């Protein structure tokens, strides 16, 4: 009763395909792929505003050494 060989896994795969059918397995695979893609896009969208500010030049990074008050 050691570990399962490749033949055991192939039999399990055939049984799963027979029980669920290829169409349902394909739908589950595409749903899972869409969820992973959506997750990656969600993680990427958090970083985009910071990059966008740097590219637009509207954000200036640096340190203020002294402030001057000018009256207009």
Least confident segment among 3-7, 20-24, 31-35, 66-70: 66-70
Burial of 37-72, coded b for 16+ CB within 10 Å and e otherwise, reads eeeeeeeeeeeeeeeeeeeeeeeeeeeeeeeeeeee
Would you place residue 10 in the very low, low, confident or very high pLDDT band (cuts 50, 70, 90)? very high
Q: Is the predicted pLDDT of residue 14 greater than 70, yes or no?
A: yes
Instruction: State how far the Cα of 69 lies from the Cα of 48, in Å rounded to an integer.
Output: 35
Q: What is the pLDDT of residue 22?
A: 85
Instruction: Please state, in angstroms and rounded to a whole number, the distance separating the CA atoms of residues 18 and 44.
Output: 39
Contact 42, 34 (CB under 8 A): no
Q: What are the tens digits of pLDDT across the range 17-65?
A: 899 888 888 898 899 999 999 988 888 766 555 555 555 555 556 666 7
> pTM of the prediction?
0.42
């Amino acid at each position: 009763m050691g570990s399962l060989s490749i033949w055991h896994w192939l039999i399990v795969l055939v049984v799963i395909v027979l029980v669920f059918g290829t169409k349902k397995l394909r739908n589950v695979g595409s749903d899972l792929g869409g969820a992973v893609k959506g997750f990656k896009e969600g993680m990427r969208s958090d970083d985009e505003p910071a990059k966008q500010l740097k590219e637009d030049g509207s954000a200036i990074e640096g340190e203020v050494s002294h402030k001057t008050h000018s009256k207009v």
